């Protein structure tokens, strides 16, 4: 039987010599949901980008229906019936659902017909049983609805093969469940799907076959019913993962961070924070949960001094830092591991050494401002050993390291700054499992050292295993504060994150 898609010996080397895929082989049959699993950085997204014509293939072949496929743009991929739902939505926020639906289509007339566009969109949505509001602007849609719109866009372009790149990353458990039902329905209609995820329970639930990628190499394809989650996880990482830690008993110390009634409105006049108050004390990890876009990033930006709140106050060790500069906030005792590590966390072209010393460079300089190179070198060598950074030496440019090692460098820098408060924004996003458990152990070490830690994460498992308390945000408000953390389930967090459950009397 012929395969719909066959990937043969595909190798991809990025500029700068990063080897993302090395002789990758796998096939996809018509009408199946084929899961592609692997740790972050295993090369899943790169492979999909090549299938979708976004990246060129360094060597190897891709066959679609037995014919060799050579794509130079995503437009050609769409013409061949391949569609992709990206990890980050490719939608125009200020346009309506229907407008997004029609965007980029060649058959659209020069003058748009709103009414007809909405009709068509609703028709397509009904056909596939997707509920969306076509006349609503994308920025006012829920994440789940955006996701559905993305899939509809592809279906409307008559795709036969749909690539879903981590579609559930931003969804709540309930939204995920709904998405899966729709996907299974599509499968019944004869659609073929490639489903990328590293959430094994989801893969197990939805896929027919599984291909495992590790370090850019295919580890094999398996029938889903033949393998257990443990099997897959062993193939992915080579060992079992467990996020259960024995947490040391730490007595709560004095209060370090206090946030009072924070309010913020974005440039579209949409309220992002509507009165958030909480505090963090020494010796505790306070987790922040919430579906992306419910005010967490705004809150962190305000606390760390990157944005100014329209109302409310932030206190650090009793000092009002609401309008302080980042320089002063750091001096008062705050460290920050930013969400976007390549943009805010490091200077990719500079060396590991230079990236390790940026926030405390003055402590390595003598009175005349001259840098003491030997002192820096010693400090960096120690950090590289202590934080287990895999680099040739401290002079290698940080951009050439893997995501996990870059993150270790950033964590080393921020943890060694000797601050009272650590703000960790997605500290393990896109990091391999080995690095995750290492970073987790360091976070717990800081807790034992009596630091106050505020942890924002999209990984609910991580929040539950590390935090002492979890704050759940929904629509710019605190929907709940849970202190019985080890007993909290992901499902319970999901209910709060979706706004289905709410504690009264909070901010």
Partner 1 sequence: MEKKNQKKFDIMDYFSAIRIAAALLLSLLIVFVIILFVSEMPGVAIQKLMTGPLETKRSFFNVIVRGIPLVFTGLGLTLCLKSGIFNISSDASFYMGAVVATAIAISWPLPNIIHQFALIAAAAVVGGLISMLPVIVNKYTRVNPVVLAIMANSIFYYFGLSIISSFFLEKSGSWGSYKFPDDARLGTMIKGTSLHYGFVIVIVVTIFVIFLMNKTSFGYKVRVTGSNPAFAKTSGLRTSFIILMAQFIGGAIAGMGGAIEMVGVYKRFQWQTQTNYVWDGLLIYMLANGNPVFIPITAFFIAYLRVGAEIMSRSSDLDPEIVTFLQGIIILLVASQRFLYFLKKRHDQKLSLQQAEAEEGGAAA
* Binding residues vs partner 1 (CB under 8 A): 13, 15-19, 22, 58, 216, 304, 306, 325-327, 329-331, 336, 338, 343-350, 354, 357-359, 361-362, 364-365, 368-371, 392-393, 395-396
Judged by beta carbon, residue 336 or residue 442, the one nearer partner 1 is 336
| Distance, CA of 20 to CA of 217 (rounded, Å) | 9
What is the enclosing helix (H) or strand (E) of 124?
helix 114-127
Helix (H, G, I), strand (E, B) or coil at 231: helix
**Minimum CB separation from partner 1 for residue 205, in Å?**
32
**Minimum CB separation from partner 1 for residue 23, in Å?**
9
**Minimum CB separation from partner 1 for residue 84, in Å?**
26
Judged by beta carbon, residue 257 or residue 356, the one nearer partner 1 is 356
Tokens 């994150």 belong to 497
Measured in degrees and rounded to the nearest 5, phi and psi for residue 137 equal -70, 145
What tokens does 388 get? 């287990």
**Minimum CB separation from partner 1 for residue 392, in Å?**
5
Of 127, 162, 119, 129, residue with least CA distance to 30: 162
CA triplet 92, 113, 99: central angle to 5 degrees? 10
**Minimum CB separation from partner 1 for residue 240, in Å?**
19
In sign, the C-alpha dihedral spanning 229, 230, 235, 238 is: positive
Helix (H, G, I), strand (E, B) or coil at 117: helix
What is the enclosing helix (H) or strand (E) of 63?
strand 59-64
Judged by beta carbon, residue 66 or residue 369, the one nearer partner 1 is 369
Judged by beta carbon, residue 65 or residue 396, the one nearer partner 1 is 396
| Distance, CA of 254 to CA of 450 (rounded, Å) | 10
**Minimum CB separation from partner 1 for residue 111, in Å?**
34
**Minimum CB separation from partner 1 for residue 245, in Å?**
29
292-317 exposure pattern, b = at least 16 Cβ within 10 A, e = fewer: ebbbbbbbbbbbbbebebeebebbbb
Judged by beta carbon, residue 348 or residue 499, the one nearer partner 1 is 348
| Distance, CA of 325 to CA of 329 (rounded, Å) | 6
Strands, E, within 198-246: which ranges? 209-214, 217-223
Judged by beta carbon, residue 310 or residue 358, the one nearer partner 1 is 358
| Distance, CA of 132 to CA of 111 (rounded, Å) | 24
| Distance, CA of 385 to CA of 401 (rounded, Å) | 15
Judged by beta carbon, residue 370 or residue 385, the one nearer partner 1 is 370
**Three-state helix/strand/coil letters over 293-340:** CCCHHHHHHHHCCCCCCCEEEEEECCEECCCCCHHHHHHCCEEEECCC
Instruction: Please answer whether residues 262 and 242 qualify as being in contact, where contact means their C-beta atoms are separated by less than 8 angstroms.
Output: no
| Distance, CA of 425 to CA of 420 (rounded, Å) | 16
Judged by beta carbon, residue 275 or residue 399, the one nearer partner 1 is 399
Of 385, 431, 442, 443, residue with least CA distance to 407: 431
**Minimum CB separation from partner 1 for residue 217, in Å?**
8
**Minimum CB separation from partner 1 for residue 66, in Å?**
29
**Minimum CB separation from partner 1 for residue 41, in Å?**
14
Judged by beta carbon, residue 216 or residue 476, the one nearer partner 1 is 216
Judged by beta carbon, residue 289 or residue 406, the one nearer partner 1 is 406
Judged by beta carbon, residue 31 or residue 399, the one nearer partner 1 is 399
**Three-state helix/strand/coil letters over 484-501:** CHHHCCHHHHHHHHCCCC
Judged by beta carbon, residue 105 or residue 361, the one nearer partner 1 is 361
**Minimum CB separation from partner 1 for residue 361, in Å?**
5
Judged by beta carbon, residue 281 or residue 360, the one nearer partner 1 is 360
**Minimum CB separation from partner 1 for residue 264, in Å?**
19
Which strands make up the sheet holding 192-197, listed edge to edge?
A: 82-85, 161-165, 192-197, 33-37, 209-214, 217-223
Which residues neighbour 305 within 8 Å (Cβ) at sequence distance 6 or greater? 321, 324, 325, 326, 329
**Minimum CB separation from partner 1 for residue 296, in Å?**
17
């Amino acid at each position: 039987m012929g395969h719909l898609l066959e990937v043969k010996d595909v190798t991809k080397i990025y500029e700068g010599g990063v080897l993302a895929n090395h002789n990758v082989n796998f096939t996809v049959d018509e009408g199946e949901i084929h899961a592609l699993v692997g740790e972050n950085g295993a090369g899943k997204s790169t492979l999909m980008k090549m299938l979708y014509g976004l990246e060129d293939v360094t060597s190897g072949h891709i066959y679609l229906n037995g014919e060799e496929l050579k794509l130079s743009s995503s437009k050609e991929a769409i013409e061949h019936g391949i569609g992709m739902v990206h990890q980050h939505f490719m939608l125009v926020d200020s346009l309506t659902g229907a407008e997004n639906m029609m965007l980029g289509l060649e058959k659209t007339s020069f003058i748009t017909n709103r009414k007809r566009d909405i009709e068509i969109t609703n028709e397509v949505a009904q056909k596939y049983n997707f509920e969306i509001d076509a006349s609503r602007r994308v920025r006012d849609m829920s994440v789940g609805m955006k996701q559905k719109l993305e899939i509809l866009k592809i279906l409307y372009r008559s795709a036969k093969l749909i690539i879903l790149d981590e579609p559930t990353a931003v969804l709540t458990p309930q939204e995920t469940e709904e998405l899966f039902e729709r996907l299974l329905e599509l499968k019944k209609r004869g659609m073929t799907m490639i489903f990328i995820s590293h959430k094994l329970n989801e893969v197990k639930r939805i896929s027919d076959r599984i291909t495992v990628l590790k370090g850019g190499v295919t580890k094999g394809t398996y029938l889903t019913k033949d393998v257990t989650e443990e099997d897959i996880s062993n193939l992915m990482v080579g060992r079992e993962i467990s996020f259960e830690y024995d947490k040391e008993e730490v007595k709560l110390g004095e209060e370090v961070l206090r946030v009072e009634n924070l309010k913020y409105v974005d440039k579209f006049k949409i309220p992002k924070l509507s009165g958030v108050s909480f505090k963090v004390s020494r010796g505790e990890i306070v987790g922040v949960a919430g579906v992306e876009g419910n005010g967490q990033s705004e809150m962190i930006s305000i606390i760390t001094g990157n944005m100014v709140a329209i109302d409310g106050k932030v206190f650090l060790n009793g000092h009002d830092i609401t309008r302080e500069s980042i320089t002063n906030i750091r001096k008062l005792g705050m460290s920050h591991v930013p969400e976007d590590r390549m943009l805010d966390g490091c200077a990719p072209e500079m060396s590991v050494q230079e990236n390790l010393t940026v926030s405390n460079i003055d402590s390595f300089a003598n009175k005349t401002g001259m840098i003491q190179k030997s002192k820096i070198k010693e400090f960096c060598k120690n950090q590289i050993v202590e934080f287990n950074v895999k680099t040739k030496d401290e002079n290698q440019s940080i951009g050439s390291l893997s995501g996990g090692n870059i993150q270790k460098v950033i964590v080393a820098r921020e943890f060694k700054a000797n601050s009272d408060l650590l703000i960790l924004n997605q500290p393990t996003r896109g990091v391999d499992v080995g690095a995750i458990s290492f970073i987790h152990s360091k976070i717990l070490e800081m807790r034992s050292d009596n630091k106050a830690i505020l942890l924002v994460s999209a990984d609910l498992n991580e929040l539950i295993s590390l935090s002492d308390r979890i704050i759940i945000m929904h629509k710019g408000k605190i929907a709940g504060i849970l202190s019985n953390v080890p007993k909290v389930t992901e499902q319970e967090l999901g209910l709060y994150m979706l706004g289905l459950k709410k504690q009264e009397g909070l901010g």
